Each structure stands twice: as structure tokens, then as C-alpha cells.
Structure 1
Amino acid sequence: VHSLTWDELCKAPAAPLQFQRFSFNHPLYIMFTSGTTGLPKGIVHSTGGTLLQHRKEHVLHSDVRPGDVMSWYTNTAWMMYHWFISGLASHAAVVLYDGAAIVKRKDKDDVGILWRMAEDAGVTHFGTSPRYLAALMEAGYEPGHQHDLSALRSVLSAGSPVSAEQYDWLYSAVKRDMIFASISGGTEIMGCFVLGSPLHPVRRGEITCKGLGLAVDVLDERGASIIGRKGDLVCTEPFPSAPLTFWGENGDARYHAAYFEARPGIWTHGDLAEQTIRNTVIIYGRSDTTLKPGGVRIGTAEIYRVIDAQPEIQDSIVFGYPADGDEDIVLCVVMKDGMPMDELLIKRIRAEIRQNASPRHVPRRIFQVGAVPYTLNGKKVEGAAKATATGAPVKNVGSIINPECLAEYAALMQGS
């Protein structure tokens, strides 16, 4: 592949830009999924579908206007990089950052680098993730009290569910007069099924609305639309940003098997979700990491919400473990330096999960581990932890940024 350094590009003589026209379905990207639940899938996306989806989401859902400044802490391997770069099509500027979101210093961690950038650049739309928000909350950092964020109109978050407590923190520690939008979709559609809106109220712990022009629904095992109960997030009609195919051999067959095998003609996205009577949506986690104690489906997000509030715990991961025809919930926690995991803490964790989630959410087994497996773009890999603990092969080990930590999970259940 021919490439140029930045200096070489700047020294090249100027020439008029020449644009070549392509059809709507001309391939634009081959984007690989994160590999949280299996081998990454190479998904071929169309030029027209991607552009149409992004323009809709930016202008109509995110209120991006000409002259706005967008930023998102991401990398080129995550679809959010390409999503926010498309802000150029709405005549907005984009701010790129290369480096760590939290910089290690000798005295203490520098958690404010992205907010200094936002202040200096006059960022209007600040993109982030729940994991980053949790780190700021833990550090006691309040960006709105330490920076001039007068230009900021919206904060957006993607990658995993945002807890209700994080909604509260954003409006108290960042800015009261703004739109917070938790958005959810994926690499598969290069956009969002559910996201924010400048016209609707923001409700803590809930995603504001379904994407315009998308027949998004939540179905139960009968295929019936349900409200107020957990089910599968689906799209019942075709949409422009659907993939063209999967890259590689038998791409069409693998594509249809991944999203249409469960319900012919209906896109089954793989998220456990609930739609409310307010037409908002709650995402509980991936369907393939859904816990099923007693045969009842529950989401991991409800457990993580409780664990993230524990001051002694640095990180955690939850998965189901087969047990006598049923499934036990296994919770693994990473303790902060100098913090012990004793019986008092275990009892408190179980009591708070019982109170704030339900008795079904209470972990049967709780272990202390040294690290949690993550993908390159910061997603927990529950499937890999479960596979290792049960002695099954880990198919997506190449997608895990710290696969060495899995050795500890192999010994968890021995003698327990």
C-alpha cells in the first residue's frame, strides 16, 4: 500500500480535488466487530447507506450544525471513529486525539486531558464511554467546575450500558444545560438503533428514542412485541445501513446466519433490551452473555451497576456457569490496591445486588482475580472468561488485549 508521511503530504504540490462517483451500494468499509463473543466478523458496508445513516444521526438526532466541533476518544478499529469523522459531511470540525485518555503521572493520574482539549477546541459534542465516565467519578473529577465548557451542547456515550448514577453525575459534574445521549447500535450497522434526540426529555438510565426510519422493536421468544419486559432487540424492516455481506468465503450465508437465522426476515441484533411505555429503551447487555439462573433471562448490566458503586472494587466481570441443569452466576472482582476481599464485603455485595437488582441477580460464587479480559476498544469479554472457566476453547483470543489474564480463570472453579 502506497503511503505518505505527514511531512511528505504537506510538501506535495497542491492540485484540484477530483471526485469519482460511485453507486449507492459501492463498498466503503470492511469493519471488523470487536470479537467480544467470538471471532471478529469482517462486515462490508455500503457508501450510501453509511453516509445516510450518519447524516441522519448527526443532524436529526445529535443536533450537529455547521461550525460545530465534534470529538470522540476512539481509535480507527472502533466504528465510532468512522461515525464521528462523518461529522465533516455536516460541516462540523472533528478533533482527533492520539494518546491515553488518563495519563499516568508520578504524583497522580491526569484525568483531565480530554477536557482541556475540549475547552481549548470549543468542543460542542463530546464522545466517550461508560468506563471513562466511571474513572472520572471514582477520581472525584468534575470537568464542569474546572473547565470552560460553555461551547458544550452534548455528551454522547457508546460501548456499553450507562448506569443511572452516571446520568446523575454528568448533569451535576459536567453541565446541567446540555443533552446527554447514550447511544447503542454497533459495527454491524455502522450506526445506532437507539440514541438521543434534541426534542425528547432525557431520562436517567434509559436511551431516549429509537432511530428515525428504523423499525426497532423488542420481541419475546414467541416473536411478540413486548413492553416493560426484557426481550431481543430487533429491526423488523430493511434499513439503508445494513451490511452488504461478510468479507470472505460464504459471506452472504454467514451474514444471514448471524442476523436472520433466529427470525427469518427480521434482524436480531443480539442485545437484551426493554422498551418502556415512554418509548425509551434500556439495554441490559449482549444476549449471548445473558445470565439464565432458573431459566429466567437477566442482564449483566444490572449487576455491574451495583459493583461499580463499591469503593473497594477496581473492576469486575460476570458470567454464567453450568450447574446441575441450571446456571450459577459467577462474579469475579479486581480489588483496589490494599483493599482485601473478605466475608463482610462479599455479604455486602450480595445484599446490595439483592436490594438494587433482584434475588435472581445475586452471584452464587464470588472470586477475586488480578485482571478482567478486554477487547482493544475496551469491551469486557465475558464469553472468554466463561469459556476458560468451563474448560472450553476461547475462539476470540486474538481480539483480547490482555489474554494472559485468562489463565487465572481456568483455575477458578477447581474445588469450588
Structure 2
Amino acid sequence: MSTEPPDWIPTARAIEGARITDFARFAEQRAGRDGRELSGDYHRLWEWSVNDVNGFWAAVWDYFGLPERPAGPALATEAMPGSVWFPGSTLNYTAEVFRGRPGTGTAVITVTEDTGPTAVTWDGLRRQVASLARELTALGVRPGDRIVGYLPNGPEAVVAFLATAALGATWAVCGQDYTGAAAAARFAQLRPAVLIAATGCVHAGKRVDRRADVQALRAALPDLAATVAIGDAAQVPGALAWSALTAHDDAELAPLPVPFDHPLWVVFSSDTTGRPKGMVHGHGGVVLEQLKNLGLQLGLRAGDRLLWHTTPSWMMWNVLVSGLLLGATAVCYDGSPAHPGTDALWRLAAGLEVSVLGTSPGYLAACRKAGVRLTGHGPAAPERLGVTGSAFPTDLQHWVAGELGPGTQVVCSSGGTDVVTAFLGAAPTTPVRAGELSAPCLGVSVDAYGPDGKSVRGEVGELVVLRPMPSMPLFFWDDPDGSRYRAAYFDIYPGVWRHGDWITLTGHGSVLLHGRSDATLNRHGVRMGSSDIYGPVEELAEIAEALVVGVEQDGGDYWMPLFVTTTDGIGLDDALREKIRAAIRRGASPRHVPDEIIQAPGIPHTRTGKKLEVPVKRLLRGDALDTVADPGSVDRPDHLDWYARIGAAHRARRGTAPGTPG
């Protein structure tokens, strides 16, 4: 863990003016606490938030002015799974979005690769949502029905979601980075009543035609009462025109108050094996968590502009849209962050004077390798840069912080689609050290468990959550006995959420993230995180990307190959292999040096950009390809064949059969 000084330290003025400081004082007054017991120290505030769960979440509810609720505890039943929050309370996500919003302010800005910014005011958004909600009601949509979207990241997705939520129906969406077959694998389980679809999009300078995918998707959804087409409805036979359904200026928006745990949306796991898991979250849990996540942890305020580069397929789209709950402007960019040049996202953010920009370590690494300057594209850099999705190497974080300067806080966070928020992150009042996550998030009772299931400090352990969070899934779709839900999180430690990440809790309150525990490298009983290897390797100019796995062998042996892709067609010779080994020895340890370094045609990822460590490990073991990965969840499924062949060749050299260690 780092002994270096922080890369970023909040000023006294920033701490004083931070919303989280104001919230802490609000909580102090409610609890009758003296002085700056909570407002003067983030970690004391966090400890209170997880020790007094009822007091904390009730304070969040009241601080943000949510509707009046019955007297009683915030957490009526403390169980995982099976927690019960705010019984008897009612609210509606869409109602909270529009409560008290200025009609002429900007709610949504949309940008695509082939169009400039298009703004929608709060009044304009309200009118479209009201119009669509009225038309959906006329189509027979009722509370609990499912409405699904196959859409790019544009205003239509926002309007469709808010109209669905207003009716108490349940929303699910896939971006057009997914094929129709991949979307069908998710939507078919839901038996939706309405499909809202676009016929194509533009990405990386190319027009993507999705008309055939829309037709295939319709054929896979036999319970559809209607299809709504965006653009030229004539291209989708029998579809209703989006433009007609959203044109009623006289429609009144009257969101239906629903119980706290009424299903709001279904988000799908990025699992690559079997049927995607549909995780259901409720109105109340999402509203409460996102007010805390965006309003307190990220410091988002009314009038701020939030741009997170995402597609609707990824949970960060749900977070982006939830900026509307704070009165912020959601900036929806549909396209490549690196088109027409690697600096495209920075130019866009500067031109729109974005307050908070979100992206991935992979994009930032590409910027550094391309020599992109992160400032100088507009009058000011973002106040905060959010980074999530994969490991954020220390050296890369140093570079980003140096480029942006002290005016921008770099916020590295880690969470999951499972809770549509972060477990670990930062706040406007916490210092930032490269290679570390500043702190656990408020209300998240994070701990690290060692092999014996006991809490550990200063060493690698399993990330666990000891107490319920409001945005934990209500249930998994089509899991009537809850067995899939329990197996996903509670099979190892009953009653304790096990997330599947390795972390280290440091002595100064920060957290080190080492990678997925189900992809852990375990050489001779020593556990290692793959991210510790990716950092030094991917910093090399010759290396585009790397993937490392550990495969148990017969006889107790262990094979740890490192696969790399190179930049600019560079060949992998012995000199480069030695350079890679030296970088790993220097940046991690001699124990981290792989057994082999192999040049690969590509590194396979989920559609949300996560490396497929576990599926590749299984392929190298000899597991059948059709049991290892759902092709619709993989960005380049053709690459998996190559890894399967590598595994077969390795087993042939060792003389072991498929499916056995070796």
C-alpha cells in the first residue's frame, strides 16, 4: 500500500462547501451530536452510516426531501437476502426526477458521431414522458408489465424508461452494441408487453443497421402487444411510430405511487456462461442509493452536467440517467470515445462544459499511448473524473492526475451491476492516492475476509458486505425459490454478501483492489491479483493489452500463461518477453512472473469491457466452448476458438485429457 503523499487533497474551502459536509451536519443535528463529530471526518461518518443503518438511511431520505413516510425503522427486517426497507412508504422514481425542476432548464443533452448536441428541457422531457405514458396505458400496459428497449444512448431511451417507471411497469434495455440474438437472450425471460427499438446507430464512423436484429428480436418475444419504432416506422412492419406516441402536448404526467420495493428495472449480469441473470431492483432502493451515490459521494448538484461514456447495456447508463434525480443534466453520447480521434471524448466534454466525466481505465491508457493531452480543449477541465469498469494502474492514475491538475479530483470506484452502485469509491472530502480507492462508500458495510472467514487488515481478503443495502436485488428474474440469488452471493458465508473481488483494507482507511477472486492466481498457496500484473505490463509502449490466468495442473503443478496483444503490429520476440518479465518483477514481484508469454490475436471481453479471465481459464483446461461462454456476451467470440486451441496444444504436450487439470 502506498506511503506516498496523496495525488489530490481537498481544500478547506472545498470541504466546507461540499454537500456531504452539509449532510453530515444535518445528521449531527438529528442525532443530537456535538460539534464536528461526523462532518469533520469522512471515516467517522462512514462508521456511523454502517453502525446506525436505520439512522443513516432515514437521514438520506429526509435530507433529500423524499415523500412523507410512516413512522418506524428504515430497515424493518435485517436479513440477506430478504431485507425489508421502509415498509408502508410509497414513491415513484419518475415523480422524484421531475419534482421541483425548472421548466426551461436543460434535462438531457444528446450527441452522436454524426450530429451535434441536441438539448431537451425539463418541460420538453416531461411532455414526452407524459405523452408516451398515456399511449402505453392505451396499449394496455399495467403496473408490473415489462417494457423493453433495444436502443442507442439517446433521449428516446431516457423518455421510454421514465414513462415505464411512471406507470409502475418494469423496464429493461439493451444497447445496440448487442445483436438481436443477445438482446433476445435477456428479454425473452421477461415476456415483455412492448418493445421500443431503433433500427440502427453510428459507431466508429460506421452506420450499424439493426433492422434485421429488430425483426429477429420481435420473433423471439411472442407476448408483445406492440412494437414502437424510432425513426422510419415503415422499416419495421406493423410497428407504431415513436414520433406519434410522444407528440401529445396535452398529456398530464401523473406517476403512480408504488411501494418501496416495487420493481423498477431488470439489469442483466455480464456473466458469460449460461442464461444472463436478470437482477430486479426497486423504486425506493434505487432512488435512495443514487441520491447518496451521486449526491454525496460524487457531489453532483442541480445544474451540473454529467457525462459518463456508456451504452444502455451497462449499469453506468442507469447511473447516468439517475443524475436527473439531483436535477443534473444527463449528457448522453452515443458513439466511440476515440472517433474521429482518440481525444474525441475530451473535446466533447470540454465543449459542453461537463462537470463530471466518467470513463474507463482502458480509454485513459489509449489516450496516454496516443499522446493525447487531457486539458486545453475548453475553458476548464471537469471538476471530477470518474473511473470504473476495470483495474486502474497506479502509473496511469499518476499520469491522469498530472495531466488534469489539482482542479480535478480523479474518483476511482468499484461496485457492480448487482447493486447498480459502488461499494468503494471516494467523496469530495477524501484525499486520492494513486492505486487506491479512497474509502468504502457510505452505508456499505465493507469488510475483507481471510481464508478462515474472519476479518483481515493489511492483507488480501474477500470483499464482503456485512449489512443490507437498499439497492441489493429484490430477487433474480425467474428464480422462484431464490436458489440462484443465494448461490450468487451467499453460498460461502451465509447471511454475508460475498462479491467476488480481492481487496486489502489499508491502515489509513483506503482500499486496494486486486481483481476477481474467482480468477485468482494462486501459485504455491500464495494468492495474487491479475491487476497487479496488468499494471506494469500494459504500461509498456509495445503492449496494447494483457490477460493472465492460472490453470491447475495434474500432479499439483500450476500453469500461469500471460497473453498479450502488441501495438502497431510489433512482434513478440525474446527481447520483448524479457522486457515484460523485468517490468513485472519491478512493478509487482518475481512471484508474479508468468510461465509463458504468448502473443494473442486479441483479448476477449464482456460487452461492458471486462476481460474474460475465467472463461479463458476454463478453455485452457479443456472445457467445451459452448459451456464456457455465451457468444452474445462476448465482444469477439471468434477469439475464444484460438484460446481453446492453445489449451488443446498445451494438454497434448502434457498428455492430459480435456476437462482434467492440465
Instruction: State the TM-score bracket (shorter-chain normalisation).
Output: over 0.9
Give distance in 1, aligned partners of 2:561 and 2:621: 12
Pairing 1:252–2:482 present:
yes
Q: Aligned AA for 1:400?
A: V
Give distance in 2, aligned partners of 1:251 and 1:331: 41
Structure 1 residues 21-36: aligned runs within 5 Å: 21-35=257-271
Pick one of 146, 153, 163 that aligns with 2:393: 163
Give distance in 2, aligned partners of 1:251 and 1:49: 22
Aligned residues of 1:270 and 1:288 also touching (Cα < 8 A):
yes
Matched residues, number: 410
Pairing 1:403–2:657 present:
no
Aligned residues of 2:347 and 2:377 also touching (Cα < 8 A):
no
Q: Which residue of 2 aligns with 1:392?
A: 623
* Range moving further from structure 2, 93-102 or 11-20: 11-20
Q: Which residue of 2 aligns with 1:90?
A: 326
Pick one of 136, 143, 151 that aligns with 2:367: 136
Structure 1 residues 255-404: aligned runs within 5 Å: 255-323=485-553, 324-393=555-624, 394-398=627-631, 399-404=633-638
Q: 1:72-99, CA deviations, whole angstroms, 9 ceiling, x for partnerless residues?
A: 1101111010012101000100100111
Q: 1:318-343, CA deviations, whole angstroms, 9 ceiling, x for partnerless residues?
A: 11122331322110111223311111
Q: Aligned AA for 2:488?
A: A
Aligned residues of 2:306 and 2:323 also touching (Cα < 8 A):
yes
After TM superposition, give the deviation of residue 10 of structure 1 in Å. 5.3
Give distance in 1, aligned partners of 2:380 and 2:342: 16
Q: Aligned AA for 2:506?
A: T
After TM superposition, give the deviation of residue 193 of structure 1 in Å. 0.6
Q: Which residue of 1 aligns with 2:316?
A: 80
Q: 1:231-287, CA deviations, whole angstroms, 9 ceiling, x for partnerless residues?
A: 100001112111111111445111011101100110001001111001111111111
After TM superposition, give the deviation of residue 358 of structure 1 in Å. 1.2
Q: 1:185-213, CA deviations, whole angstroms, 9 ceiling, x for partnerless residues?
A: 10111111111111111111100111111
Structure 1 residues 29-108: aligned runs within 5 Å: 29-35=265-271, 39-103=275-339
Give distance in 1, aligned partners of 2:585 and 2:446: 32
Shift in CA distance, 265/191, structure 1 to aligned 2, threshold 3 Å? same
Pick one of 415, 424, 427 that aligns with 1:185: 415
Q: Aligned AA for 1:51?
A: V
Structure 1 residues 226-245: aligned runs within 5 Å: 226-245=456-475
Give distance in 2, aligned partners of 1:251 and 1:281: 35
Give distance in 2, aligned partners of 1:247 and 1:278: 40
- Greater percentage in helix: 2
Q: Which residue of 1 aligns with 2:148?
A: none
TM, length-normalised to structure 2 = 0.60
Shift in CA distance, 389/378, structure 1 to aligned 2, threshold 3 Å? same
Give distance in 2, aligned partners of 1:272 and 1:327: 20
Q: Which residue of 2 aligns with 1:125?
A: 356
Give distance in 2, aligned partners of 1:14 and 1:126: 36
SS at match of 2:529: coil
SS at match of 1:144: coil
Q: 1:144-203, CA deviations, whole angstroms, 9 ceiling, x for partnerless residues?
A: 1333325x2100011112111122122222343121111111011111111111111111
Q: Aligned AA for 2:630?
A: V
Q: 1:279-328, CA deviations, whole angstroms, 9 ceiling, x for partnerless residues?
A: 11111111111111112111000000011111111221111122331322
Query: Structure 2: any 5+ residue segments left out of the alignment?
Result: 1-193, 195-225, 231-241, 654-662
Shift in CA distance, 248/366, structure 1 to aligned 2, threshold 3 Å? same
What CA RMSD, in Å, does the superposition of the two structures yield over aligned residues?
1.6
When Rg is computed on C-alpha atoms for both structures, the one with the higher figure is: 2
Q: Which residue of 2 aligns with 1:196?
A: 426
After TM superposition, give the deviation of residue 384 of structure 1 in Å. 1.8
Give distance in 2, aligned partners of 1:143 and 1:350: 31
Give distance in 2, aligned partners of 1:38 and 1:142: 42
Q: Which residue of 1 aligns with 2:81?
A: none
After TM superposition, give the deviation of residue 351 of structure 1 in Å. 1.9
SS at match of 1:126: strand
Q: Aligned AA for 1:23?
A: P
Shift in CA distance, 38/195, structure 1 to aligned 2, threshold 3 Å? farther
Identical pairs, percent: 37
Pick one of 197, 214, 219 that aligns with 2:444: 214
Aligned residues of 2:272 and 2:628 also touching (Cα < 8 A):
no
* Range moving further from structure 2, 119-128 or 241-250: 241-250
Aligned residues of 1:157 and 1:181 also touching (Cα < 8 A):
yes
Aligned residues of 2:534 and 2:546 also touching (Cα < 8 A):
yes
SS at match of 2:256: coil
Query: Structure 1: any 5+ residue segments left out of the alignment?
Result: 105-109
Aligned residues of 1:154 and 1:178 also touching (Cα < 8 A):
yes
After TM superposition, give the deviation of residue 28 of structure 1 in Å. 1.0
TM, length-normalised to structure 1 = 0.95
Pairing 1:145–2:376 present:
yes
Give distance in 2, aligned partners of 1:97 and 1:251: 40
SS at match of 1:303: helix
Give distance in 2, aligned partners of 1:121 and 1:14: 32
Give distance in 2, aligned partners of 1:251 and 1:12: 43
Give distance in 2, aligned partners of 1:286 and 1:334: 21
Q: Aligned AA for 1:396?
A: A
* Range moving further from structure 2, 158-167 or 321-330: 321-330
Pairing 1:112–2:348 present:
no
SS at match of 2:300: coil
Give distance in 1, aligned partners of 2:275 and 2:618: 14
Give distance in 2, aligned partners of 1:362 and 1:37: 29
Q: 1:357-415, CA deviations, whole angstroms, 9 ceiling, x for partnerless residues?
A: 11221101111111111111111111122222221134333311211011111222415
* Range moving further from structure 2, 141-150 or 286-295: 141-150
Structure 1 residues 11-26: aligned runs within 5 Å: 11-26=247-262
Give distance in 1, aligned partners of 2:564 and 2:498: 31
Give distance in 2, aligned partners of 1:80 and 1:187: 9
Q: Which residue of 2 aligns with 1:107?
A: none
